[in-house]
Amino acid sequence: MSTDTPITDATVRDVVIVGSGVAGLSAAVYTARADLEPLVLEGPEPGGQLTLTTEVENYLGFPEGIGGMELIQNGKEQATRFGAEFTHGTVETATLEEQPFALELASGETIRTRALIVATGASARWVGADGEDELMGYGLSTCATCDGAFHRGDDVLVIGGGDSAMEEALFLAKFADNVTVVHRRDELRASDIMAKRARDHDAIAFRWNTELLEIHGSQEDGVTGATLVRHPDGHPTAKLESGEVDHETVDVGGIFYGVGHVPNTEFLAETAVELDEAGYIRTEPGMTTETAVEGVFGAGDVMDPDYRQAITAAGTGSMAALDAESWLETREAAEHASPPLAEAELDD
């Protein structure tokens, strides 16, 4: 089956899945096995965050680990085998006020669907340091829980000053010899309790008014060091041209970005799907992936600001598929139900 399905305005799908990371692929497998012939929209980053991870060791069923790209490719093949179709496209706007829903793509094409599963994920913020494009996934990471165990005995840097950075640092302290938090100001943005835990930890140190300028290393050798810049008033990269910035090169075996994530929900901003203050999809209370709009379901990191793990994304993807299947069955039963008899007919 083709993995690049042409789109026609006349086609109304039972299910469209926006996103092709672990959550989207899991939803695709389940909806395809239910004969719903899902269409999966692969956005600007097919496969999502996991494609940036060279080795996944904490995904159930792979005791020797598996490459992130390989896991994604396997999932796509599995979904395709059951009947899922894939096409490239980025949703710019969604019209969800009436059935069928309409998704307008950046290409100008429109997709119509009865049920919609949003699995667009959340993108980790990067800091713009030289070398990050080359070394992301090769000693540079945005997920300590995913990659921390690879850095046993290393000296590592954590970039950031909020709760995310403190969580990364505290987790890394279980494996690394030394963890240094690099923050561009002289005080943390983290909550008091998280800041205290990090400050009180013997293996965690802080570099204040400091930023990461350049990452050293290669894909063969991984991260080997970093260039840091410091200014006594903070935000040193904004003051590079002043000549008052101190440069320092340090030897490290890993660098972790802890500057937060941005959920990919821009196309839902003008819809009735409820988003929280950070832009994550709010799902209905209870164990469900349902949103405030009937027929729209959330899965994966786009609705999960807390766990952000491949295995939890896969779990919510399967949940969204089952919820969508149940919703479609209920809707179809209601549409085909016999209308109630009029009072005159009852008298007869």
Please state, in angstroms and rounded to a whole number, the distance separating the CA atoms of residues 275 and 141: 27
Q: Which residues contact 141 (CB under 8 A, 6 or more apart)?
A: 53, 147, 254, 255, 256, 257
Please state, in angstroms and rounded to a whole number, the distance separating the CA atoms of residues 40 and 55: 25
Burial class (CB in 10 A: 0-12, 13-18, 19+), 135: buried
H or E segment and range at residue 214: strand 210-218
* b/e sequence 239-258, b meaning 16+ C-beta within 10 Å: eeeeeebeeeeeebbbbbbb
Eight-class DSSP state of 301: G
- Give me 281's structure tokens: 């999809």
Active site residues: 143, 146-147
**Mutual angle of helices 22-33 and 310-336, in 10-degree steps:** 40
Residue with tokens 């990452």: 215
Please state, in angstroms and rounded to a whole number, the distance separating the CA atoms of residues 275 and 331: 25
Is there a contact between 313 and 299 (Cβ–Cβ < 8 Å)? yes
